[in-house]
């Protein structure tokens, strides 16, 4: 018997893009599709691979290219156009839907979140429909009789979610308790504890935290859980906590905070830092290099975020945490489906936390 051929990476991305295009019911002919850079970020492929895949969709007539403007929908794939492995998200046999809500107009949907939602939908034969959080039809789409509930990607913008009566679970933190949103989150407080445990085990006793205003994934409650964990970590090692070591303000420009942070380092107040916001981390590493400082010889750094891939490509590879985002997104979707199909109660807690795992890199060093 002939076994089916394994798809190449480019073919997998092509079929995933076709499935995504087919599942976006509110994305019609003439609407803008993903850019090449968004395809690169969403599927972790090179620009050459992204160009090959998207150009192939143009040749097949699904997209059309406009010079200087990007790619636009020409024709949406049907279920029969998709590879067998990717038909579930667009199969007409399924009628119940999970809405995946994201700031699709500006930021590529995190591939891990979409993959997790589609894992659960595929297993239960539910549709996955992606709707931008900025859509004026979001409430109308969510209240459609075929919609079981919505899964959201963490976002700080104001929305009309409180008008939606269906189950709402966000993969990440959500500040407004009046929106009725349940947050499925990696354990940020545990990340703070494990940060101190790891760095103290390497001999560091003066550890700082840096968060700027630029990162949309940060909320006040999110930052507060990191700080609470670091406090507990300090206490467990019998160290004196210093509030001045926490440089965290979602209203202060991150470049200004980086300058203050480096000044604190030069005054020998710290030897290591936890920088959970990726955009702030990128600015910090760049500024350290401009000032002739080395990571980790001069300063040890620890990260936290959606992507462990970014931690691997930066030099040096960062010590970070695996947040198992795909598993969290899958579980969020399963909870909504079980509520819709079986009447299983939703979680009572507003925040449901999930385990994390420390991934040691080369950005932290021992002082011993």
Q: What is the pLDDT of residues 190-208, one digit of tens each?
A: 999 999 999 999 999 889 8
Instruction: Yes or no: say if 167 and 186 are a contact pair by the CB < 8 Å rule.
Output: no
- Joined tokens for residue 363: 């950005």
Tell me how far apart the alpha carbons of residues 357 and 17 are, in angstroms, rounded to a whole number: 30
Residue for token digits 């406009």? 66
Domain ranges for the chain: 1-86, 188-322
- Nearest 5°: phi and psi at 148? -80, -30
Cα four-point dihedral sign 218, 151, 80, 146: negative
Q: Record the pTM.
A: 0.71
DSSP β-ladder status, 357-359 and 320-322:
antiparallel
Q: How confident is the model at residue 312 (pLDDT cuts 50, 70, 90)?
A: low
Residue 267 confidence (pLDDT): 80
Residue bearing the bigger pLDDT, 58 or 88: 58
Instruction: Yes or no: say if 102 and 50 are a contact pair by the CB < 8 Å rule.
Output: no
Mean pLDDT of 261-281: 83
Render pLDDT for 89-147 as a digit per residue (tens, 0 to 9). Answer: 444 445 789 999 876 433 344 678 888 998 999 888 898 888 877 667 788 888 888 99
Q: Which helix (H) or strand (E) holds 249?
A: none
Cα four-point dihedral sign 74, 77, 82, 86: positive
Per CATH, the number for 188-322 is 3.40.50.2300
Render pLDDT for 46-69 as a digit per residue (tens, 0 to 9). Answer: 888 888 889 889 988 889 988 878
Fold (CATH) for 1-86: Arc Repressor Mutant, subunit A (1.10.10)
Instruction: Yes or no: say if 132 and 103 are a contact pair by the CB < 8 Å rule.
Output: yes
**Strand order through the sheet with 246-248:** 246-248, 207-211, 272-275, 300-303
Residue 107 confidence (pLDDT): 36
Residue 252 confidence (pLDDT): 66
pLDDT, mean over the chain: 81
3-state SS assignment for residue 227: helix
**Burial letters 182-206, b for 16+ CB under 10 A, else e:** bbbbbbbbbbbbbbbebbbebebeb
């Amino acid at each position: 018997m002939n076994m089916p051929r394994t798809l190449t990476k480019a073919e997998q991305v092509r079929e995933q893009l076709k499935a995504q295009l087919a599942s976006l019911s509110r994305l019609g002919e003439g609407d803008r599709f993903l850019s090449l850079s968004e395809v690169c970020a969403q599927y972790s492929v090179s620009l050459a691979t992204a160009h090959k895949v998207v150009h192939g969709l143009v040749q097949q007539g699904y997209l059309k290219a406009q010079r200087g403007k990007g790619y636009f929908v020409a024709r949406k794939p049907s279920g029969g156009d998709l590879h067998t492995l990717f038909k579930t998200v667009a199969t007409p046999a399924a009628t119940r839907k999970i809405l995946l809500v994201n700031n699709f107009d500006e930021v590529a949907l995190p591939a891990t979140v979409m993959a997790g939602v589609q894992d659960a939908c595929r297993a239960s034969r539910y549709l996955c429909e992606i709707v931008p959080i900025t859509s004026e039809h979001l409430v109308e789409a969510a209240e459609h009789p075929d919609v079981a509930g919505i899964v959201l990607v963490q976002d700080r913008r104001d929305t009309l979610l409180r008008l939606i009566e269906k189950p709402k679970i966000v993969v990440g933190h959500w500040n407004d308790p009046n929106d009725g949103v349940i947050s499925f989150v990696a354990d940020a407080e545990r990340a703070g504890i494990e940060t101190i445990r790891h760095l103290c085990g390497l001999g560091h006793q003066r550890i700082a935290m840096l968060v700027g205003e630029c990162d949309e994934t940060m909320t006040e409650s999110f930052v507060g859980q990191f700080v609470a964990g670091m406090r507990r970590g300090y206490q467990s090692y019998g160290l004196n906590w210093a509030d001045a070591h926490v440089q965290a303000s979602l209203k202060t420009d991150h470049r200004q905070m980086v300058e203050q942070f480096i000044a604190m380092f030069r005054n020998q107040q710290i030897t290591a830092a936890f920088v959970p916001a990726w955009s702030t981390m990128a600015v910090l590493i760049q500024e350290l290099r401009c000032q002739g400082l080395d990571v980790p010889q001069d300063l040890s750094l620890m990260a936290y975020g959606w992507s462990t891939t970014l931690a691997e490509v930066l030099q040096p590879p960062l010590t970070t945490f695996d947040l198992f985002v795909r598993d969290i997104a899958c579980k969020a979707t399963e909870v909504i489906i079980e509520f819709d199909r079986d009447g299983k109660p939703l979680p009572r807690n507003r925040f449901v936390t999930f385990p994390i795992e420390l991934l040691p890199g080369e950005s932290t060093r021992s002082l011993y």
